[in-house]
């Protein structure tokens, strides 16, 4: 077991991310929401978080302006920050190009952690680890000193389980909240045992849980993991930081409240496990069921740009065959939820 260095400030709890040896505060800064505000506010928020004590920032090539804004903020402080980014490319060539762009946007010669982003399933994972795959570029970049460590992110616990068996990555990023708590049994203990760093994402389940205190106390009560929470405003960062500093014992009233919220979402919250796939119409079901949360985090424009309109168009062809419903472990009424989400998206877009 690696001992925490004693000279570091101990006002908040710190951990070491597995074998990486990276020592961090358990509350990290997530780079998604700063895309949806103007540049000044984004830079101000990042700078405020770092000055206040955040020492781990996670972003991605996928988060549009996020890397550039974080890079601009870090130019204005001499605080040391562990910087992580990601690429969704599955090929060696693609990941290398993304890494070079990340370094440029973040204005760094090297990054502490670079991750294969959103490795959806076994098929994509095989691409990543095969010859010419993204892992090859990560290994080379590590040898060259362009990155310190190699990580992977996924919404699939089955996939992360396989990743832990293979032992090719030094960190994993996993969804974890009181609405998506399965990682607590299935993934987190195994990762800790294998000394793979665990970064928990979506502590608010993508904006569904609006009680920050309850959400954060729940995830922090799980030892051995760090948690990234994205914010776009310094007041929101302060709120999270105060909760983080205050300790995380849940009392009976809070446990009851968690149960009440769980019940509310039992039959309409998608846990992103993808067990419902494959859809006969190739509909990305979890994406459609998560439209509200995506818009909340990334802003309305996401409905008009990139892959999102295509996913929405596909979803309009749901035949209500019911094959997905039979496979969903939570018995969600998927076709009804698709219809409801499409209606909501149309309202947002102001079209029929």
Contact footprint for ligand SF4 (CB under 6 A): 270-276, 279-281, 283, 285-286, 289, 318-324, 328, 330, 332, 334-335, 338
Residue 56 vs 125, nearer CB to ligand SF4: 125
Strand ranges (E), 177-294: 197-201, 226-230
Give me the least distance between CB of 270 and ligand SF4, in Å please: 3
Bridge partners, 198 (sequence order): 172
Give me the least distance between CB of 127 and ligand SF4, in Å please: 21
Residue 256 vs 343, nearer CB to ligand SF4: 343
Residue with tokens 């090297």: 110
Give me the least distance between CB of 325 and ligand SF4, in Å please: 6
Give me the least distance between CB of 323 and ligand SF4, in Å please: 4
Give me the least distance between CB of 212 and ligand SF4, in Å please: 24
Q: Which 8-state DSSP code applies to residue 230? A: E
Tell me if 196 sits within 8 A of 169, measured CB to CB.
yes
Give me the least distance between CB of 7 and ligand SF4, in Å please: 45
Residue with tokens 């760093």: 197
Residue 259 vs 282, nearer CB to ligand SF4: 282
Cα–Cα distance for residue pair 319/88, rounded to 1 Å: 30
Please give the full DSSP string across 3-14, using - where no structure is assigned: PPPTTS--SS-E
Residue 192 vs 294, nearer CB to ligand SF4: 294
Tell me if 266 sits within 8 A of 303, measured CB to CB.
no
Residue 103 vs 334, nearer CB to ligand SF4: 334
Q: Which 8-state DSSP code applies to residue 339? A: H
Write b or e for each residue in 63-79: b if 16 or more Cβ atoms lie within 10 A of its Cβ, otherwise e: bbbbbbbbbbbbeeeee
Residue 30 vs 335, nearer CB to ligand SF4: 335
Cα–Cα distance for residue pair 171/200, rounded to 1 Å: 11
């Amino acid at each position: 077991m690696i001992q925490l260095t004693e000279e570091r400030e101990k006002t908040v709890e710190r951990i070491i991310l597995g074998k990486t040896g990276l020592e961090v505060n358990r509350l990290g800064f997530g780079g998604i929401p700063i895309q949806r505000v103007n540049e000044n506010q984004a830079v101000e928020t990042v700078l405020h978080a770092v000055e206040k004590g955040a020492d781990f920032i996670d972003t991605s090539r996928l988060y549009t302006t996020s890397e550039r804004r974080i890079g601009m903020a870090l130019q204005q402080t001499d605080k040391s920050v562990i910087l992580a980014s990601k690429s969704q490319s599955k090929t060696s060539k693609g990941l290398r190009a993304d890494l070079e762009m990340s370094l440029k946007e973040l204005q760094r010669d090297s990054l502490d952690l670079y991750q294969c982003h959103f490795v959806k399933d076994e098929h994509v994972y095989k691409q990543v680890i095969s010859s010419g795959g993204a892992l090859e570029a990560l290994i080379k970049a590590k040898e060259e000193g362009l990155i310190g460590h190699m990580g992977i992110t996924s919404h699939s616990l089955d996939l992360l389980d396989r990743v832990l068996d293979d032992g090719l990555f030094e960190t994993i990023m996993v969804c974890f909240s009181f609405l998506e708590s399965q990682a607590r049994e299935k993934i987190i203990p195994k990762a800790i045992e294998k000394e793979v760093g665990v970064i928990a994402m979506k502590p608010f389940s993508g904006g569904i849980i609006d009680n920050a205190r309850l959400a954060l106390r729940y995830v922090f009560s799980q030892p051995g993991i760090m948690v990234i929470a994205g914010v776009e405003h310094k007041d929101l960062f302060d709120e999270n930081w105060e909760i983080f500093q205050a300790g995380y014992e849940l009392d009976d009233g809070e446990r009851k409240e968690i149960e009440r919220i769980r019940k509310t979402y039992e039959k309409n919250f998608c846990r992103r496990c993808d067990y419902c796939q494959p859809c006969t119409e190739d509909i990305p079901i979890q994406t459609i069921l998560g439209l509200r949360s995506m818009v909340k985090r990334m802003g309305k424009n996401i409905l008009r740009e990139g892959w999102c309109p295509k996913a929405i168009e596909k979803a309009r062809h749901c035949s209500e065959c019911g094959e997905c419903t039979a496979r969903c472990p939570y018995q969600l009424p998927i076709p009804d939820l698709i219809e409801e989400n499409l209606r909501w998206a149309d309202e947002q877009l102001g079209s029929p």
